[in-house]
Amino acid sequence: MTTEAKAKELSGKIDRVFVMAKKLSDENRKLSILRTLASRLPESAVKKLSDESFRKRFEKRPSGFSRVVKLPPRKSDSAKMAVIEMVD
């Protein structure tokens, strides 16, 4: 849960990382993509993204791996709030 502006910004970055992870099936590019992912993400996230079950789960989806769901405003400062969800 975060502000709506941060959620929208993060959603685009998540989609780019997922597209990179989907390209891991090509062995020629695998090492360079893994290095790029490792520089941006924690090791546990890289392991999950490089898993075969991840690629099978999202192989038919070209983009749109996450969605932003709007929530009621925060009470303290009335900031617009949202949650980022993974799309199945």
What pLDDT does residue 13 have? 85
* Domain coverage including residue 12: 2-86
What pLDDT does residue 68 have? 93
Long-range pairs of 39-48 with CB within 8 A, sequence gap ≥ 24: 41/17
CATH number of residue 37's parent domain: 3.90.1030.10
pTM of the predicted model, to two decimals?
0.71
Q: How many domains does the chain have?
A: 1
* Rounded Cα–Cα distance for residues 36 and 46 (Å): 10
What pLDDT does residue 25 have? 67
Detail the DSSP E strand segments found in the chain.
2-3, 66-71, 81-86
Q: Which residues in the chain land under pLDDT 70?
A: 25-29
pLDDT, tens digit (0-9, with 9 covering 90-100), for 33-54: 777 777 777 888 778 777 777 7
Q: How many CB atoms lie within 10 A of CB 23?
A: 13
- In order of 4, 39, 40, 71, 73, the CA distances from 78 in angstroms are 12, 35, 32, 11, 5
